[in-house]
Amino acid sequence: MILTLDLGTSATKAALWEPDGLVGLADVGLVTASPAPGVMEQDPAAWWASVVAACAELGRSRPDGLAGVEAVGLTGARQTFGLFDAGGDPTGPGILWSDARAPSVAGRLAWVADHRADQLARSSWILAPRDLVAWRLTGSAATDPSLASLTGCYDSDGTVSAAVDGSVAERLPPVVPSDRVAPAVGEAAVLGLRPGVPVVLGAGDRQCEVLGTGAGVTVPMVSWGTTANTSLPVDARPDPSPAGLTVARSASGGWQLEGGLSAAGSFLAWLGRLCGRSSADLVALAATSPPGARGVTALPWLGGARAPWWRPGAGAAFTGLADAHDATDLARAAVESVALDVQRCLEAVGRGLPPGPGFDGLGLAGGGAPVAVWQEVLAGTTGLPVHHRRSGQAASAGAALLAAGATVGPWDLDLLDPVAGGTHPDPALVDRYAALRPAADRLAADLVDPGSPPACD
């Protein structure tokens, strides 16, 4: 039995896995503070506290608690970090990946060095939430290539970049392989684990989602959560890097092409707050509005347009509104807007690959994966069949696969988390969205850069 710990932005998940599936799951929410526009912070003490609480809940659900765990696998959000003293206590707020003080981890750390020099001076380590948990459990501070490659702080060989300020560089953890195994010698007992249980460092959440969906060069992974993401594993780093995409190290030592959107579930949550409805209500309403949302077009760019646009000054919008429209149409337009940006990212991925057979389908991850209207809209927009797996926990499944391969022996994804459903594109819907696409592209291009051609041309 393998325990996985997924340190997300909105919640920490503890999951128990047997070779034939998920046998236990607990999650504990995390609170994000935004004390000023563009500032996104969390209390780093909550990262470890949430792990303790999730494991306690999981342990209470089993007669023997977590004593039977044979290995621990870790994953978590990328580009989020906190500063910690030698005892593991935070020296100030943690800064999230979505923080707008600078466009990269390296830039945000430079901001810390300039504006919170006293905090930096009191700190011994700069760690992502996943890295903090690994340190707590094993007593060894480290990160892996999948997280390091997205910070701007490390060169491609895993050494700290010479461009990083020395006061920051000396506090960055060393880079070790994602499948590194270290015995639990720290606070494992607090979680109910036996001493010495092997802990596998793991990879970032998107990299683990790629593993957990079974994504490959012809089947990209598409995740709907707080944000949306399109990821594709490749053996070699494309040269040049595809315009509009991020290139990261994968969990298996290769590379990963990624298109990360600024909002997905958070766009519906924002709309729900305005309408006085829950996100679940809006999903149900979206299914009742026709394709094209009766003329309403949305842009889901809360916090700026990310992939494939990368225009931080752009904002979310609805156009085409009239008296007859209501929350039903706005919800449908919101879902369609995310699917359109996913399609643009897929097109950018395709341009970055050598000529080949193209894509065969999409593996879905995130909380939205089993939602029928999301599957329908995404299949119609992309013209590709989509499928989701049984557990709905792709990142945790990927972490379990990594942990198993490094400790008890390889596990089979199709036994661990078989495909549970999906949908094929409706030809009429494909034609409808193809007809709507040019106008949506013109609107998007005008808002990100007035007068410019759309990024997908």
Tell me the per-residue pLDDT of 329-348, one tens digit each, with 9 for 90 and over: 999 999 999 999 999 999 99
Q: Could you give phi then psi for residue 456, rounded to 5 degrees?
A: -85, -5
User: pLDDT-based confidence at 239, cuts 50/70/90?
Assistant: confident
Which residues is 29 bridged to in the sheet?
A: 11
In a domain, 9, yes or no: yes
Q: How far apart are CA 394 and CA 213, in angstroms?
A: 6
126-148 average pLDDT score: 97
What pLDDT shows up at residue 354? 73
Position 457 scores a pLDDT of: 37
Does a structural domain hold residue 29? yes
Residue 29: per-residue pLDDT? 96
To 5 degrees, how large is the angle CA 93–CA 98–CA 101? 70
Global confidence as pTM: 0.94
pLDDT(456) > 80: no
pLDDT of res. 147: 98
Residue at 187 is within a domain: yes
Confidence of residue 453 (pLDDT cuts 50, 70, 90): very low
**Cα–Cα distance between 285 and 271 in angstroms, integer?**
12
| 274 in any annotated domain | no
Tokens coding 278: 């829950």
Please report the pLDDT score of residue 319 as a whole number.
96
Say what the pLDDT of residue 383 is.
97
pLDDT at 352: 73
Residue 235 has pLDDT above 80, yes or no: yes
* CATH of residue 72: 3.30.420.40
The total domain count for the chain is 1
Query: Does the structure show a pLDDT above 90 at 351?
Result: no
What pLDDT shows up at residue 240? 85
What average pLDDT does this structure show over 388-411? 98
Helix %, strand %, coil % of the chain (to 5): 35, 20, 45
Range of the domain at 97: 2-203
Q: Is 242 left (phi over 0), alpha (psi -120 to 50) or beta?
A: beta
**Residue scoring higher pLDDT (340 or 262):** 340
Q: What percent of the chain has pLDDT over 70?
A: 98
By DSSP bridging, strand 82-84 and strand 125-127 are antiparallel
Indicate whether 452 pLDDT > 60. no
Give the model's pLDDT for residue 169: 97
Does residue 291 fall inside a structural domain?
Answer: no
Residue 110: pLDDT above 90? Answer: yes
Which value, to the nearest 10 degrees, does the dihedral of the CA atoms of residues 193, 207, 265, 418 take?
-70
Looking at residue 450, what is its pLDDT?
Answer: 58
Average pLDDT of 75-101? 96
pLDDT reported for residue 303: 83
Query: Residues 21-39: pLDDT tens digits?
Result: 999 999 999 999 999 988 9
Cβ atoms < 10 Å from Cβ of 436: 18
Residue 451 lies in a domain: no
pLDDT tier at 455 (50, 70, 90 boundaries)?
Answer: very low
- HSE on the CB side for 299, CA within 13 Å? 24
Task: Single out the residue of 11, 9, 40 nearest to residue 27, CA to CA.
Answer: 11
Res. 353: pLDDT tops 90: no
Average confidence (pLDDT) over 383-390: 98
CA-wise closest residue to 447 among 320, 296, 313: 313
> Could you tell me if residue 89 is inside a domain?
yes
160 in any annotated domain: yes
pLDDT at 355 over 90: no
Q: What is the pLDDT of residues 149-199, one digit of tens each?
A: 999 999 988 999 999 999 999 999 999 999 999 999 989 999 999 999 999
The pLDDT value given to residue 80: 98
Q: For the chain, what is the mean pLDDT?
A: 95
